[in-house]
Structures are given as structure tokens and as C-alpha cells.
Amino acid sequence: MSPQQGIFKPAVLDLPLSLTTVPVVPGKERPYDDGVTEDGITYRYRGTDPNQRDNAGVRLAMLQRVPLIYFHGIVPGRYQAEWPVYVVNDNPAALTFTVLIDDRVTFATPVDHVAEDGRDAARRYITATVQKRLHQRTFRQRVIAAYQEHCAICRLRHDALLEAAHILPDGHPRGVPSVPNGISLCKLHHAAFDAHMIGVTPDYLIEVREDILIERDGPMLEHGLQGFHGERLRTPRSELLRPDRGFLAERYELFRRAV
């Protein structure tokens, strides 16, 4: 079950309890363009009136330094909760608030004993750390959901053994954590893909590296890797979610060099 969307402020309260960013659904526009950046969570106003009731409530939470709960949508029906978070900036011109994530240790420290700039610096560091975790978790969930919870090579369906493999790595200029840059693979095939023991052509054909293909090492190698040579990668039904052919071409060249 998903939490209350947007700014959740019960009618009997002056302050909100939580903020929610709904998950991205390919082909559909989100009602609010929120995002987690290095500077914090940029959270859009409700509507365009800075004095709208919910916006006023968030502003009051900022002024009173009241902690809130933040729900970050990963995939439809799945949210990552972060608590406590603090609203630290209000930008009426951009119709946005800036929200920083804290931790329970910092939250337990009496605010009168910590300098404001020190708290914000610590929260920015925590927010950046959480940002990486959210991106990794979101990437995994979205990729695995796109492949209907199975390995694109062997069709294994055990979630605990599935991972989201990057086609182009995080450090690559185009290595964004988006579904077209990912493939749902079991742990064995993810490790083999990263080690260039198996490759995928831009036409979605699976190739096993030549030395691995001719090796003789029992049924695990035969059925776990060699048997998939020449098979077609199982891709999502939606073209928007399928592996980007340009990304695959670049990755395939790396595989070819390893042969």
C-alpha cells in the first residue's frame, strides 16, 4: 500500500506529518517534479499559491524546525521511508522547498547545543549518502519490475537472487540509473556479465566468451553459462524499458576485447 501522496496534513493539525514523492512511471508525467540532489530534496509546492494551506503548513514546519517523514516512491506501491527530515529553505519564486534528511543521533541532540550551520552541513552529508542508497534501491526495483521479477538470461524468479546489472557503469558519462541502462540478472549471470564472460549484442543476442565456451568443467558451467550461447535476451514488453541498443553496443565492444 502506498502512503498519502504529496503533503499529508490532517485537517485538525496546523503542521504536516509527511511529504511524498510518487515513483516515476515510464510514459507518464509525475504530478510534481520532486528530486533528490546533492543540495537536498527539492520538493514542489502544492499548486502555485505559496499561501495554499498545505504549503503554509510546510513553511511553518520549517520555521518551527519540526521533523517530518519523507516517502520516496521507488516503483508503484513501494516507497522508501526516511525519518526525520527537515525543511530548511523556502523558495516561493521557484515554488519549491528544500528538505534535508537527518539521522536519529542528530535528531536526539538538543538543537540548542548544535550550531545551525553545523546541523545543515551534517544533514547535507546524510542526504547525499541517502541519495546514493535511494538511487541504487530505486534502480534495482525498477529494473527487476520491468523484467517481471526474473533473470533476463535464465528466467530465475527468486527475488533474493536477482540484481540490476548496469550496462554502462555508474562512473560512465551516460551510466545513468535508468531502466534502459539496466538488465535484470541473477547473481551468477550478473557476475559473468561484469567479468565479460558473457556479452549481449545490440540485437539482444547472448554470447559466451570463446575460452569459456570451449572449457570443460562439469554441468554447472555447461548449463549455467555455455547453454545460453546464441540465445536471445528476454527483454521487457515495453520498448521504453528495453536495453538501450547504443549502450549495449558500447558494452559489447568491451566484451569483444576480452575475448
The per-residue pLDDT for 5 is: 62
Q: What's residue 245's pLDDT?
A: 97
Cell of 47: 499548486
Structural domain span for residue 90: 6-145
Within a domain: 247? yes
Q: Pick from 106, 123, 145: which residue ends a domain?
A: 145
Calculate what percentage of the chain has a pLDDT beyond 70: 83
Same domain, 10 and 134: yes
pLDDT of res. 160 = 94
Domain-embedded: residue 1: no
Q: Percent of the chain beyond pLDDT 90?
A: 58
State the pLDDT at residue 251.
97
194-201 long-range CB contacts below 8 Å, 24 or more apart? Answer: 194/165, 196/254, 196/255, 196/258, 197/225, 198/153, 198/225, 198/228, 198/255, 199/251, 199/252, 199/255, 199/256, 200/233, 200/243, 200/248, 200/251, 200/252, 201/248, 201/252
SS3 194: helix
Residue 88 and residue 162 in one domain: no
Pair 89, 171 in one domain: no
* pLDDT for position 112: 45
158 and 138 in a common domain: no
CA 203 to chain centre: 26
Average pLDDT of 26-41?
62
pLDDT score at 38: 62
Report the alpha-carbon distance of residue 187 to residue 135 in Å, rounded.
20
Residues 29 and 135 in one domain: yes
- 131 and 14 in a common domain: yes
Of the residues 145, 172, 197, which one is the last residue of a structural domain? 145
When pLDDT is cut at 50, 70 and 90, the band that residue 106 belongs to is very low
Residue 35 sits at the vertex; the CA angle it makes with 29 and 37, to the nearest 5 degrees, is: 150
**Tell me, what's the pLDDT at 254?**
94
In a shared domain, residues 110 and 192: no
CA-to-CA distance for 221 and 202, rounded, in angstroms? 25
Best CA proximity match to 69, nearest among 7, 13, 131, 121: 7
Q: Is residue 179 part of a domain?
A: yes
For 18, residues 6+ apart whose C-beta sits below 8 A from its C-beta are 3, 4, 7, 8, 68, 69, 70, 71
Range list of H helices, the chain: 53-63, 104-108, 116-146, 187-194, 210-214, 219-224, 245-258
What is the rounded average pLDDT of the residues 131-153?
86
pTM: 0.65
Residue 124 lies in a domain: yes
The predicted-structure confidence for 174-212, as pLDDT tens digits, reads as follows: 888 889 999 999 999 999 999 999 999 999 999 999 999
Tell me, yes or no, whether 198 and 117 share the same domain: no
The predicted pLDDT at position 255 comes to: 96
Whether residue 139 sits in one domain with residue 155 = no
Q: 227 pLDDT exceeds 70?
A: yes
pLDDT digits (tens, 9 = 90+) for 114-139: 455 666 777 777 777 776 767 777 88
Coil, strand or helix: which one is 188?
A: helix
Can you name the residues that pair with 40 across neighbouring β-strands? 37
Which of 101, 119, 145 terminates a domain? The answer is 145
Q: Which residue has better confidence, 60 or 41?
A: 60
6 vs 49, more confident: 49
Answer yes or no: is pLDDT of 103 > 70: no
